[in-house]
Amino acid sequence: MEKNMPMGLRFSLLHRSFMKRLDARLQEKGLTGVQFGVLGQLRRLRRAGQSEINQRDLEAAMRVTHPTMTEIIRRLEKQGFVRCTPSARDRRFKCIEPTEKAVALQKEMDELDGAIFQDLCRDFSDEEIAQLTALVDRMLENAFSDCHKKPEGGESAGD
């Protein structure tokens, strides 16, 4: 491997390798990586305490357009991974909830995620894996904190 490869390319190649392995298993289940991402986001929003999750919530979280999310949800519902019910808070929206099938799949995919990570780190010591995890966590904190900073001399996007 090239030693002076740009860091962004390194992360991109790791991501592609990881997703290729994950996608192969998802295809066996009749899912795409994007559909699985929506199921994962649905789980994260529920874990964060959001009682009702609607399509707009998922669009914002996944940064996709309304028509794209409509199609993704339609397919997930048809495959039995989500159910859509009228919102108790706002009848204009439908609540999107994972089914038992989705919950079971998520558990299986969590295990696969760990197995793929372990395979990619197969020559690493436990200490190196812990150090890598801590460093990546710090990078993620930096990445997400940058989203909330105000540009110099201006207002943040949320103001």
Residue 156, CA distances (Å) to 64, 138, 144 in order: 21, 22, 14
Angle at 20 between CA 14 and CA 25, to 5 degrees: 135
21-38 pLDDT tens trace: 888 888 888 898 889 899
Give CA–CA dist 153/150, Å, rounded. 8
Indicate if the pLDDT at residue 150 is higher than 90. Answer: no
Residue 78: how many CA atoms within 13 Å on its side-chain side? 9
- Picking from 92, 62, 95, the residue whose alpha carbon sits closest to that of residue 77 is 95
> Encoding tokens for residue 112?
């696969």
pLDDT band at 158 (very low <50, low <70, confident <90, very high): very low
Pick the CATH number of 18-143 from 3.30.230.10, 1.10.10.10, 2.102.10.10, 3.10.20.90: 1.10.10.10
152 — pLDDT class (breaks 50, 70, 90): low
User: What pTM value is reported for the model?
Assistant: 0.69
